[in-house]
Amino acid sequence: MTTDAVNAEFTEAAHTASTIAPTAPFFVVMNAGSGRKQADETRAVLEDELGAARRRFEMCVVDDPRELDAAAREAAEKARADRGVLVGAGGDGTLCTVAQAALAADVPFAVLPRGTFNYFSRDHGIPADLHASTKLLLDARAYPVQVGFVNDRMFIVNASLGLYPKLLEDRETYKQQFGRSRLVALWSAVYTLLRRHRHLHFHIEHEGRTREVRSSTLFVGNNRLQLEQIGMPEARAVEHGLLVAIAPRPVGRLAHLILSLHGAAGRLSDSDHVMSFTFDRITVTRPHASKAKRRRVKIATDGEIAWLDMALEFRVSERPLLLLKPEPAVAEANRS
């Protein structure tokens, strides 16, 4: 089958929706890390909107982020037993954890955006307003959407290694001190980029070929909106069964900052210091690394940090996630 035929098949599948039963219950999982006040507000809106429609729901508020995965899996099992919908309430990191439980249990997934950037929900046209996104639960259909994996860890927006995970760690530290805002995120990124950082040396195996790469970071994108915002021409590839790999070439700290400013201005592809390509599966290894000495590496998936063993396999999931979202034309109009 040709690439164009595969893309056409993938696009057609992405527009095939499943109707949710009008009596299907909702099992909502929320990370309370952003504050108990936000959790109380979310519960009140659920009681208002879903209660008025006489739809049953259960809400699980997780106080300890380390318990989020177990809570999501438990809620997913309830959703499967009751033919219901698993709902994630939070930012992209929380949504990814809950979405992975939904994918494993083969149940529909829905979103109540409660984060700072909300790339996943915005890309799929899900309104940021809590009342509007809750009302959407009542009549939205489930569409298959693409997710990625790095080894056995899922991501819905992006995955990365190298400097980018450090940026995220520093951003979280600053947010704890100065609050959660995009301005705090911007200044923490500038500070991190101006500090000394080392370049990684790794091999990327792709379609039977191996390329040697030196870079401060390897970024893998699965979100059209985010890729468009930084100016990558491959952004629409994620709608056709592919992921996008981005790796800046070795440059100094000031040049790296300028490169980041290009991305913030939506002109990253204008730079000669960026390598990018699309793929459905790649393997990343350390040169000359033996199997007896498997090295662990820090990975960021949707803003959450983890340590994984090399080699790293980035791939498109064989099964899509079934996401409750607006009809395609409405979703496209809502993207922002």
pLDDT digits 0-9 by tens, 190-241: 555 556 666 789 999 999 999 999 888 899 999 999 999 988 999 999 999 9
* pLDDT at 109 (0 to 100): 98
* pLDDT at 275 (0 to 100): 87
pTM of the model: 0.85
pLDDT tens for 20-48 read: 999 999 999 999 875 678 899 999 999 99
* pLDDT at 284 (0 to 100): 96
* pLDDT at 248 (0 to 100): 84
Where does the pLDDT of residue 336 fall: very low under 50, low under 70, confident under 90, or very high at 90 and above? low
Where does the pLDDT of residue 84 fall: very low under 50, low under 70, confident under 90, or very high at 90 and above? very high
* pLDDT at 2 (0 to 100): 44
Cβ atoms of residues 93 and 303 within 8 Å? yes
* pLDDT at 274 (0 to 100): 85
* pLDDT at 262 (0 to 100): 44
Task: List CB contacts of 218: < 8 A, sequence separation 6 or more.
Answer: 160, 161, 162, 200, 202, 204, 245, 246, 247, 284
The DSSP bridge pattern shows strands 85-90 and 26-31 to be parallel
pLDDT tens for 135-177 read: 999 999 999 999 999 999 999 999 999 876 666 666 666 566 6
* pLDDT at 217 (0 to 100): 86
Q: What mean pLDDT is reported for the chain? A: 85
Percent of the chain with pLDDT over 70: 75
pLDDT tens for 274-317 read: 889 999 999 999 886 655 456 889 999 998 989 999 999 999 99
Where does the pLDDT of residue 6 fall: very low under 50, low under 70, confident under 90, or very high at 90 and above? very low
* pLDDT at 102 (0 to 100): 98
In 3D space, the residue among 35, 74, 36 whose CA is nearest the CA of residue 58 turns out to be 74
pLDDT tens for 101-143 read: 999 999 999 999 998 889 999 999 999 999 999 999 999 999 9
Helix axes 182-194, 253-264, angle to 10 degrees: 150
- SS3 string of 116-147? CCCHHHHHCCCCCCHHHHHHHHHHCEEEEECC
Is 90 exceeded by the pLDDT of residue 12? no
Cβ atoms of residues 217 and 245 within 8 Å? no
pLDDT tens for 260-275 read: 544 455 556 666 678 8
DSSP state, 21? P
Q: List domains and CATH numbers for the chain.
A: 3-147+319-334 (3.40.50.10330), 153-316 (2.60.200.40)
Where does the pLDDT of residue 60 fall: very low under 50, low under 70, confident under 90, or very high at 90 and above? very high
Is 80 exceeded by the pLDDT of residue 182? no
Task: List CB contacts of 85: < 8 A, sequence separation 6 or more.
Answer: 20, 24, 25, 26, 27, 79, 107, 108, 109, 110, 137, 324
